[in-house]
């Protein structure tokens, strides 16, 4: 599944270098605006909401819930799940859900962050897996 | 300032090929251009405005204008909003004509996804490093939009299937359609799951081919023999992930639609025929709601029981079979949407699906991805007296 699906390797830009440096340390960064207080994703230098240049990196707790998802059944390397995960900090991010029985997934389900290597010298990418059941 | 009544569609042509291994992509564009100009009674020498989009090879408009020998251009526009581009180009052509920038505008689309590989996405995008590894395709990103619609509004796969059923009812009469077999709701649900909740028969066809349109100034229209299709109004809008405030429950057609109706001075209830972009069944459902043909969330009930079938339903749609059954040239369905609306307004659709006294029609499209970022364009046209 994700072991065999070849993942596109992300390339950092001067704008996003801190994001990918943090990814190598297993941390998911989002941006928060000093002007309007809103968090956004993917990170930009200029806030997409109020257009202030006063944006700062913030470490996400890496917890969230599934906003929507779809299981691609016709992939040569096996089914995989694309999703929007809503981080507890607010932003909904495009990602994959791994280590899950696809048929057990549901909108609203709790998930937690897990980084997946993309090979070579490229940074890993932020994916999610079902959160351990609270009992 | 408005485009209402300032320009007319004088020529339309849909390429008959669905697989084109033996011609080049520029050649397909040229064949479509010649076809639409011949339909209008004009020639390449008359063209002073040229419109194309991301499917145009090489340097886009520059390469194609050079290839076609368009030496008299006073206006050029290669706006790219994916498959909705060509609906938007009609509006932009009308704007240019209204401003006196050109009098005969040619719009072309062509490509060969079954016969050649086109590299996508383009490099240097801000989103690439954050999205490419997710393995997003049209199937699974439209799938996410459908999943959320089902979650929010209780829409069902059976309801989505009715959209395909209606398209197949129309396609049986189109000799060029790729899929001419009439299908049932059960057929759609039994077809293989591609990306939840979209089955194979919820998806449009993949086809080579193309099409072209000619938009002209009123004085040019008067000199031509073809039935005049008057442009009444248009709207366009784009929508993305909004910095993470993603909302998959509506499309940019929620803005392009009302803008078009306002400019045209008509309401959804006035529309006799609608060409609705049908990359997937969910694309149709979303636009029907966002254009105001029914309340948000009630699209499923609206399309059920054949309500989109010409002759029996309240809103006859895609009477050529649409992208779901007929043709979706180079994965861009906006061109064919306008072409079938023109056929309906001229009374030239297949007699089995021709809407009686069709004097007001709409074409609307979503280009890009409903689930990621997209451009919507809506166009309202009238049969001129
Ligand atoms: Zn801000």
Q: Predicted confidence band at B123 (pLDDT cuts at 50, 70, 90)?
A: low
Q: Predicted confidence band at B125 (pLDDT cuts at 50, 70, 90)?
A: confident
| Helix/strand/coil percent split, chain B, to 5 | 40, 20, 45
Q: Predicted confidence band at B97 (pLDDT cuts at 50, 70, 90)?
A: very high
CA of A135 vs chain B CAs: smallest distance (Å)? 26
Give mean pLDDT, residues B211-239.
Answer: 98
- Residue B356 to residue B160: CA distance in whole angstroms: 27
Give mean pLDDT, residues B168-178.
Answer: 98
Residues 6+ apart with CB under 8 A from B31: B15, B23, B110, B210
pLDDT at B120: 59
What does DSSP assign to residue B256?
H
A68 pLDDT exceeds 70?
Answer: yes
A1 pLDDT exceeds 50?
Answer: no
Q: Predicted confidence band at B116 (pLDDT cuts at 50, 70, 90)?
A: confident
Q: Predicted confidence band at B71 (pLDDT cuts at 50, 70, 90)?
A: very high
ipTM of the complex, rounded to two decimals: 0.93
Extents of the domains making up chain B: 8-117+204-383
> In this complex, do A8 and B132 lie within 8 Å of one another by their Cβ atoms?
yes
B263-299 per-position pLDDT tens digit: 999 999 999 999 999 999 999 999 999 999 999 999 9
Cβ neighbours of B141 in A, within 8 Å:
70, 82
A3 pLDDT exceeds 90?
Answer: no
The domain made up of A17-130 has a fold known as OB fold (Dihydrolipoamide Acetyltransferase, E2P) (2.40.50)
Give mean pLDDT, residues B324-336.
Answer: 97
Question: Following DSSP, what letter does each residue of A47-111 receive, concatenated?
Answer: -TTT--S-EEEEE---EEEEEEEEEE---TT--EEEEEEEETTS-EEEEEE-SS-GGG--TT-EE
A101 CB within 8 Å of a chain B CB: no
B256 pLDDT exceeds 60?
Answer: yes
Cβ neighbours of B133 in A, within 8 Å:
7-10, 96, 118, 125
pLDDT at B288: 98
Report every protein residue that has its C-beta within 5 angstroms of ion ligand 1: A 33, 35-36, 47, 49-50, 52
Give the C-alpha distances (Å, rounded to integers) separating B26 from B21, B32, B60, B72: 13, 10, 10, 19
Query: How big is the A-B interface in CB pairs under 8 Å?
Result: 122
Query: Ligand 1: distance of its center to the CA of A56 in Å?
Result: 11
Average pLDDT, chain B: 96
Query: Ligand 1: distance of its center to the CA of A42 in Å?
Result: 14
Question: Following DSSP, what letter does each residue of B88-150 receive, concatenated?
Answer: HHHHHHHHHHHTTS-SEEEEEEEE-TTTS----SPTT-SSHHHHGGGT--HHHHHHHHHHHHH
The domain made up of B8-117+204-383 has a fold known as Peroxisomal Thiolase; Chain A, domain 1 (3.40.47)
B12-57 per-position pLDDT tens digit: 999 999 999 999 999 999 999 999 999 999 999 999 999 999 999 9
Q: Which is nearest to A32 in space by CA: A21, A41, A19?
A: A41
What does DSSP assign to residue A7?
P
């Amino acid at each position: 599944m994700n072991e065999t699906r070849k993942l596109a390797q992300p390339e950092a830009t001067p704008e996003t270098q801190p994001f990918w440096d943090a990814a190598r340390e297993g941390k998911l960064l989002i941006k928060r605006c000093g002007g309007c207080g809103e968090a956004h994703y993917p990170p930009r230098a200029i806030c997409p909401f109020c257009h202030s240049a006063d944006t700062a990196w913030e470490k996400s707790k890496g917890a969230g819930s599934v906003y929507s998802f779809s299981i691609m059944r016709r992939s040569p390397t096996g089914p995989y799940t694309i999703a929007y995960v809503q981080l507890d900090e607010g932003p909904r991010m495009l990602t994959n859900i791994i280590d899950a029985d696809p048929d057990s997934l549901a909108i609203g389900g709790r998930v937690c962050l897990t980084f997946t290597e993309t090979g070579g010298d490229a940074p890993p990418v932020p994916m999610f897996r079902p959160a351990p059941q609270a009992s | 300032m408005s485009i209402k009544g300032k320009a007319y569609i004088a020529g339309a042509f849909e390429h008959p090929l669905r697989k084109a291994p033996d011609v080049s992509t520029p050649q397909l564009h040229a064949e479509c251009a010649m076809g639409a100009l011949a339909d209008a009674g004009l020639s390449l020498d008359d063209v002073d405005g040229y419109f194309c989009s991301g499917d145009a090879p090489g340097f886009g408009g520059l390469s194609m204008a050079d290839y076609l020998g368009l030496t008299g251009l006073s206006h050029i526009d290669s706006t790219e909003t994916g498959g909705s581009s060509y609906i938007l180009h009609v509006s932009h052509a009308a704007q240019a004509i209204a401003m006196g920038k050109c009098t005969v505008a040619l719009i072309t689309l062509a490509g060969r996804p079954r016969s050649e590989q086109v590299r996508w996405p383009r490099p240097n995008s801000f989103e690439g490093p954050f999205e490419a590894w997710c393995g997003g395709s049209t199937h699974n990103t439209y799938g996410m939009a459908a999943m959320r619609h089902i979650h929010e509004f209780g829409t069902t796969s059976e309801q989505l299937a009715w959209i395909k059923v209606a398209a197949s009812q129309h396609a049986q009469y189109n000799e060029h359609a790729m899929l001419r077999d009439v299908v049932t709701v059960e057929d759609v649900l039994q077809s293989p799951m591609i990306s939840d909740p979209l089955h194979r028969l919820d998806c449009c066809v993949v086809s080579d081919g193309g099409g072209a349109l000619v938009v002209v100034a009123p004085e040019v229209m008067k000199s031509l023999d073809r039935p005049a299709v008057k442009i009444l109004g248009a709207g366009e809008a784009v929508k993305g992930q909004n910095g993470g405030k993603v909302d998959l429950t509506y499309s940019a057609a929620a803005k392009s639609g009302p803008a078009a109706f306002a400019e045209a001075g008509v309401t959804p209830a006035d529309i006799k025929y609608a060409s609705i972009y049908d990359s997937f069944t969910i694309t149709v459902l979303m636009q029907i709601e966002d254009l105001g043909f029914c309340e948000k969330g009630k699209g499923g009930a609206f399309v059920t029981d054949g309500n989109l079938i010409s002759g029996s339903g309240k809103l006859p749609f895609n009477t050529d079979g649409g992208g779901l059954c007929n043709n979706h040239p180079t994965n861009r369905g906006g061109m064919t949407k306008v072409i079938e609306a023109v056929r309906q307004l001229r009374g030239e659709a297949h007699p089995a699906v021709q809407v009686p006294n069709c004097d007001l029609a709409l074409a609307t499209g979503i280009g890009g991805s409903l689930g990621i970022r997209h451009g919507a364009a809506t166009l309202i046209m009238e049969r001129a007296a």
